[in-house]
Structure 1
Amino acid sequence: MSETSIKIESVDVLLLDLPTIRPHQLSVATMRRQKLVLVRIRASDGIVGWGEATTIGGLAYGEESPESIRTNIDTYMTPVLVGTDATSPNARMFALRSHLQGNRFALCAIETALYDGQARRLGVPLSDLFGGRVRDSLPVAWTLASGDTARDIAEAEHMLDIRRHRVFKLKIGARDVRADVAHVAAIKRALGDRASVRVDVNQAWSETDAMLGMGMLQDAGVDLVEQPIAAHDIEGMRRLRTMNRIPLMADEALHGPLDAFRIAESRAADVYAIKITQSGGLRGAQQVAAIAESANIGLYGGTMLEGAVGTIASAQLFATFPELAWGTELFGPLLLTEEILRTPLQYRDFELQLPAGPGLGIELDEDRLAFLQRQQH
């Protein structure tokens, strides 16, 4: 069978509603379950590629929901893909973007599945299609999001003891600024120099709250503040960055290369939280990283609390970045109570180990997927 005769035969979307190991509290929602959105693309040569488009908190975080992603893929994207050449992910994505507006998460899942399939076809890791990896493991932060100070300290101590994480990010913004800072400062005092402590405000503060909070967090020894104010307020982010010494990280403000350019041009962030879904796919995230590198902006590998597919897809790309000064947050699978891989991802010595196999380097347990889907009905 010649390459040009290899056609896409089917595109399937699977929704898996899985419990988390504990409540995960953000300023916009409290998560007790995570709904994974998996995309499976089968080609006529028997190759199957996987992608993921998982979101946070339904529509609480962004404009795409698991249900809308499935509907839009089934209704508008699958007809454009089925019967076309499976060996050219770029051509397929160009065709989709010529027909569609928005839908970054859905497009990311499809692009990942196409690249996974093509890398498997070629017998190489997906990272090879993006220039090749410069590291075989990635440091991984853990989010402390129970909201209870003593519980968060105990959880962090446990993670240090088992050598799984030594960077901790706290989700704050749901309480008064001073109460939040007191919570963070207590955790930093308990952990001392054994760990890096950072915060994510998820846009919950006003600019005046952020000015107060960032100064207090710096005094408490916190290393980084993520998206303290509204994502659209680039000028406000610039003012905060100018008037504070603690690094400011852009997250929700980054919806791909255009936003990356605008924020860099405004000098409104010290660090970018790169997410493949927020960037509209792997290539978009690679472009965001290139803009950051050109503007001397640090990189942090972000997460949408994806399961194993989205996590390892992100890792395959992040492993190609020459500089990744702020590490990653690719802990999503560790937050879930159910395993969907035949061989789970390996976290040890504070890092996620990248698999060496072709494509994403993982094998999904399709019997387990079918069982978990049946449980939902």
Structure 2
Amino acid sequence: MPQTIERIEAVPARVPTIRPHHLAFVTVEAMDVVVVRVTAGGVTGLGEAATIGGPRWGEESPEGIAAAVNHYLAEALLGQDAANLNAVEDRIARALRGNSFAKNAVSTAVHDAVARARGERLVELLGGAVVDSIPLAWTLASGDTDRDIEEGERALAERRHRHFKIKIGAGDPAQDLRHIARLAAAFEGRATLRVDINQAWDESTASQFAPALAEAGVLLFEQPLPAWNVDGMARLATRLRATVMADEGVATPQDVLRHAQAAACGAVALKPGKHGGVAGTRAVAAIARAAGLGLYGGTMLEGTIGTLGALHLYATLGHFAWGCELFGPLLLRDSLATTRPAPRDFALHLPDGPGIGTELDADKLAHYRTDRARTVLGHGAP
């Protein structure tokens, strides 16, 4: 039975984080997100886009995402049958060039609306879960070694995380090495360490410091070089006794094919926002798997809506060699959804309930939205 798309709306919002989150290119103290609502056949589905530090990570800004959704993507989809998901994905892809974060938010919202109309979870609409949970990493990015150790110890004690990523590249590599050596000593035998350089190193710096970091205990190096330097990634991968992972360098199926052909990485960080939605994420994952590359379930620090949408999709893709980092809701001080995913036994588990498994908190969205004056929440709310 057709499920006609009747309404599409994107609302930008800004939600504060529980602590400053230091990356190579920006320090995040609040996350900019865009919540997308797609109503089809009277049922509303949810999607979310997030931009770390606004457009500092990529080309899209919250304002641009909202405009792309409210105008170009809405124009392409209104009146169409949401249940014809292949046609919807094709229309999303052809509606405008680039804008992959906007496309993914709409793709997720349409899939969510169809799953809710059928009374099933999103993972079931997508063909069923291969895994019911994915190991969940946590990023230690406070910028202070003692605080990072304390934070990691709490995560281990509460059985939330035993894989830690450290954001480096913004400062002195020698200081980064000392910082990570202390973390490695503190967590030896109890947790694994990975580093994310966010493209901040040149090849010379990587050649000098990556081997020492691997010797200190780092198992995974995420995007150490700029996205364009695929050949440099390949040279580093051949010299390093650890796994090199591509992130910013792999957005399209063609990107992952080029990395595989050049032997430029041993793993790929998936992010539905990079890949433009469900179909794009599956295409990138399929090529990576065919090339023997490990998968990592990445995040753009989305809130609950985007996190659960990604979790359902990742659960259909099978084993993730490096787990996932869908911890965005844990980093945010508040939630735009009525529930918030909580890890247990060091993993994030699929929720129950139709669609993505949560509902929009309209009052919180009204409070945190940035396109008009914010509302005042009731007594006792954050």
TM-score range, shorter chain: over 0.9
Q: Secondary structure at the match of 1:53?
A: strand
Unaligned runs of 5+ in 1: none
* Larger deviation, residues 79-88 vs 272-281: 79-88
Residue among 37, 48, 58 paired with 1:40: 37
Quote the Cα distance in structure 2 between the aligned partners of 1:203 and 1:376. 36
Q: CA RMSD in A?
A: 1.4
Equivalent residue of 1:357, what SS? coil
Residue 171 of structure 2 corresponds to residue 175 of structure 1: yes
Deviations 1:47-85 (A, max 9, x none): 111111111111110000111111122221212222222
Normalising to structure 2: TM-score of the pair? Answer: 0.95
- Deviating above 4 A after TM superposition, structure 1's stretches of 4 or more consecutive aligned residues are none
Residue type matched to 2:184 in 1? K
Alignment of 1:349-364 (within 5 A): 349-364=345-360
Report Cα offsets for 1:252-294 as digits up to 9, x if no partner.
0011211111111111000101111111112211111111111
1:315 matched residue in structure 2: 311
Cα distance in 2 between the residues matched to 1:237 and 1:193: 29
CA gap of 1:339–1:292, structure 2 versus 1, over 3 A, is: same
Q: How does 1:1-377 map to 2 (within 5 A)?
A: 3-4=1-2, 6-43=3-40, 45-373=41-369, 376=374
Query: Residue 341 of structure 1: CA displacement?
Result: 2.4
Deviation at 1:97, TM superposition (A): 2.5
TM-score (norm 1): 0.96
Give SS of 1:193's match.
Answer: coil
In 2, the alpha carbon distance for the partners of 1:218 and 1:158 equals 25
The letter for the 2-side match of 1:323 is H
Mapped partners of 1:356, 1:64: distance in 2: 32
* Deviation string, structure 1 residues 170-206 (Cα, Å, up to 9, x no partner): 0000112111111111111111110011100000001
Q: Report if the CA contact (8 A) 2:304-2:339 is conserved.
A: no
- Displacement of 1:344: 2.2
CA–CA distance in 1 between the matches of 2:113 and 2:145? 45
Query: Per-residue deviation at 1:154?
Result: 0.8
SS at the partner of 2:183?
A: helix
Equivalent AA in structure 1 for residue 362 of structure 2: E
Contact between 1:17 and 1:376, CA under 8 Å: does it hold in 2? no
Cα deviation, residue 375, structure 1: 6.3
**154-163 vs 129-138, which moves further:** 129-138
Worse-superposed segment, 24-33 or 72-81: 72-81
Is the contact made by 2:17 and 2:332 (CA closer than 8 Å) also made in structure 1?
A: yes
Q: Distance in 2 between matches of 1:104 and 1:343?
A: 26
Q: Report if aligned partners of 1:141, 1:327 keep a CA contact under 8 Å in 2.
A: yes
Gap change, CA 1:334 and 1:302, over 3 Å in 2:
same
Q: Is the 8 A contact 1:35 1:66 kept in 2?
A: yes
Deviation for aligned residue 1:347: 1.5
Q: Distance in 2 between matches of 1:293 and 1:129?
A: 22
Q: What CA distance in whole angstroms lies between the structure 2 residues aligned with 1:322 and 1:96?
A: 26
Note the C-alpha offset of 1:367.
2.9
Provide structure 2 residue ranges, at least 5 long, that are not aligned to the other structure: 376-382
What is the distance in 1 between the residues matched to 2:89 and 2:284?
18
Q: Check conservation: 1:214, 1:246, Cα contact below 8 A.
A: no
CA distance in 1, matches of 2:91, 2:291: 31
Give percent identity, aligned residues only: 47
